[in-house]
A and B are shown apart, each in its own frame.
Chain A
């Protein structure tokens, strides 16, 4: 497994749409644990009012990321290889959006 960053910009119009997508995403990832693992996501408040995400996943290949996205109905703008982590402070508390 390798780590990848996935950009999904402006993908959802409402928090409800986003939440439904997150549920599908988690359920799909559970189907093939040896191929994909969803680590975390940062949700973006786009200027257009839509929501987007920057996601961190572990996966066996970029194709596994795309397959998962396809099955869960998520867009993929860009997959970027991951080099390292620098953690300075803990993540902010999740807000209920």
Chain B
């Protein structure tokens, strides 16, 4: 791109030549089957829409154009922009939207729509106002367009996004892909402003200084044709409106109360006979026609006019808008809009009617932030509502906050609800509510409060005749005890809960408690319990109870992690990931993803482990378990390779884990810190890093942490004696049977642990084997420790290890194909590879076919063998015979 050119005017557009060229280049890629995402950013009034208009005008009939925009509503319409272009595409999508489908299904329908030979340009503007469901759809879509003829253009203001805005999260996901191109629109230069001000009676330098080169601001000042320089955009807009007739100003004011467009019928209801001045407004360029409705040409102008309205006229306009919209047939009513105008009119009854309805609708399509905002709106009018009605709003708000990970507000709302129940004298409901408060304290690691409030709930409920809430109250305390690995206390609470449930014939609670008890048995390694639990998962899947199955997989993954060195099988973990994705269970999805990253580490697939850990760390959940697991995994990948930046990750993990006092979070962090210290040659630090966790594990009789920590401590020269009944393979290792331990670790597919078991031996042969295996794994620090031990025993001529030869990638595989190949070599099926790489299974099929062709292989086995020969596999370099 010639910079000269960028400065020049492109058909009336100043200094936008480069931006337009970027969009054109992305479009050319899309046309040739390489899907792209263009992120157009600028400040408010920075010219995003003008640029996109110009780009869209340049498309011809052979391109399909889908265009939607997000509303500036305080609580936007769920999936608003998708609704905008549903009319232009097939019936499948429209049907899905009518059925209030979840984002996953909407994205599927859109995928089917844009799949094909026609190039599609899909535009969503003003993403900073988007509802969560829309962002989810776009995120799912952006992950899967790599091989489609589609260009997704997204525009947003990047200046005012708070750190936890869901758009940030989505952009993090989208922008990290190779398919994304950023188009940032800078303010206009002084030269460009001077060029625009030509023929106007203004000081161009002053104009540039005041407007900062903001294109909208400049245009407004020039359109006002007033020689005095306005100080703000608002002043500029108002100077311009003051030149219109009073009827035209009335039209502007009416349109200004609708943050999206306004239908002509509604305008007439608001402005009466003065609506005839619409023509004047359109001619002045302040309003523009959008389909069968009208809108401000720019949101900044709408805001300026709306803010300048005297409060009484604003309320009156909202009141009349509410009336007119309510008069429409119920099935065409837009609840979010009704709630907006009801709020604007200060109409308490209408807010309390429409805001909760709008919330329920938003929630049903997965727009939980919007739902929470509507409940908040309703609650701000609910002071005089009877407590039995207020609690419903509070409980619903709490649920929505819980789903969007706003733990503090979820807790606060439920506590207020519990107070309402106390005021009503409804002790059962108060106790039940406190039990829920206790439950939601656990995820963010507020374990002590969870226990205290859980006990308080039970105390209240024990004063009443036994009922289902008491049984669940005991059940909650049981599950908290199991998280702390306090098995005797767990069994005690379960017994009490089961007694109550049996007494009142509560079968649901009984079956739920049985699941919990089986889970603890499985985690404790009770023979046959794990298999029985996995059969339970399969049974739930076979009978179509997918959400139930997901809960079981999550529970098993978490419990097994603390207690037993045998992991939940990869197949079930991957099934769980598929289910959580399909059902939009994001938090559980990230728990499972974190466990998968750890599984990859344990199985020696370090690159994949680090990749997955990074995905988990890219999300900000107040739930700390996934983050701790991912931080530990990433730190161990680095420590085992001898890479830097180990301790920053481990320090964060410790800061999250320690205050909870829970073994489930503390033990893995302590073990990782001990290993990292040992690898760094600081064996003396191992005691300090593990003393507290080891003590806690012994108190609780937690088999796996005892075995793991005792092994690390023994390796560092600490003599704790052999603890009672450590699980295998730790028992073999602690008793000095290194060969037996190595065989057992290998049977669990854990090559690094197997090599370290051999490294604890005293004889030359197992040490040589350990060295070769550690060198093969790229475990530099551990390999040096073993090499030193061999040298101390007088062994000379140690192998330097297989030096990874310079990879030439003769077969010309693409980066994506190399990634697929890596996973394929790990034995993953295409569907699992698709999930891992966020691709569609169809795309993976194409990649696998390309890999076979390029490697001249007949099948997957041959491809992996050829890749091994060519040195294309990162984690699994061809194993040297030991």
Contacts and interface: CB of A to CB of B under 8 A. Distances in A.
Contact of A71 (B610, B614, B634, B815): B815
Contact of A17 (B803, B806, B809, B874): B806
A11 B645 contact: no
Contacts of A17: 806
Contacts of B804: 75
Given A12-B806, A73-B806, A73-B807, A62 B818 contact: no
A63 B638 CA distance: 8
Contact of A75 (B638, B644, B803, B815): B803
Interface string A67-97: 1001101110011110000000000000000
Given A31-B178, A63-B614, A78 B642 contact: yes
B806 A74 contact: yes
Contact of B806 (A2, A21, A66): A21
Interface in A30-62: 31-32, 61-62
A40 to B, nearest CB: 19
Indicate the size class of the contact surface on chain B. 20 to 34
B133 to A, nearest CB: 28
Contacts of B815: 31, 71
Contact of A79 (B611, B644, B809): B644
A75 B644 CA distance: 17
Contact of A4 (B634, B641, B644, B808): B644
Contacts of A78: 642, 780
B637 interface: yes
Contacts of A73: 806-809
Contacts of B808: 73
Contacts of B642: 78-79
Interface string A1-36: 010100000111000010001000000000110000
A79 B607 CA distance: 15
Question: Per DSSP, are chain B's interface residues mostly helix, strand or loop, or mixed?
Answer: loop
B765 interface: no
A12 B642 CA distance: 23
B682 interface: no
Nearest to A76: B804
Interface in B787-825: 803-809, 815, 818
B84 interface: no
B645 A62 contact: yes
B372 to A, nearest CB: 33
A66 B607 contact: yes
Contacts of B644: 4, 62, 79-81
A74 B610 CA distance: 19
A62 B648 CA distance: 13
Nearest to B874: A70
A57 to B, nearest CB: 12
A31 B179 CA distance: 11
Contacts of A81: 644-645
Most buried by A among B610, B641, B805, B806: B806
A12 B806 CA distance: 7
Nearest to A65: B643
A67 to B, nearest CB: 8
Most buried by A among B607, B642, B644, B805: B644
Contact of B637 (A4, A10, A63, A67): A63
Most buried by B among A12, A70, A79: A70
Contact of B643 (A10, A62, A75): A62
Interface string B814-846: 010010000000000000000000000000000
Contacts of A75: 803-806
Nearest to A61: B645
A61 B874 CA distance: 18
Most buried by B among A61, A63, A73: A63
B92 to A, nearest CB: 36
A78 B815 CA distance: 23
Contacts of B637: 63
Contacts of B803: 10, 75
A11 B804 CA distance: 9
Contacts of B614: 61, 63
A11 B805 CA distance: 7
A42 B454 CA distance: 63
A74 B809 CA distance: 11
A36 to B, nearest CB: 13
A11 B638 CA distance: 22
Contacts of A61: 614, 645
A70 B778 CA distance: 13
Nearest to B610: A63
B849 to A, nearest CB: 22
A2 B638 CA distance: 15
Contacts of A31: 178, 815
A62 B634 CA distance: 10
A70 B808 CA distance: 10
5 contacts: A31-B815, A71-B818, A75-B803, A75-B806, A80-B644
Interface of A: 2, 4, 10-12, 17, 21, 31-32, 61-63, 66-67, 70-71, 73-75, 78-81
> Which 8 A-B pairs give the minimum distances between C-beta atoms?
A81-B644, A73-B807, A62-B643, A63-B610, A75-B804, A79-B643, A70-B874, A73-B809
Given A17-B806, A63-B634, A79-B644, 5 more contacts: A66-B607, A66-B641, A70-B807, A71-B818, A73-B807
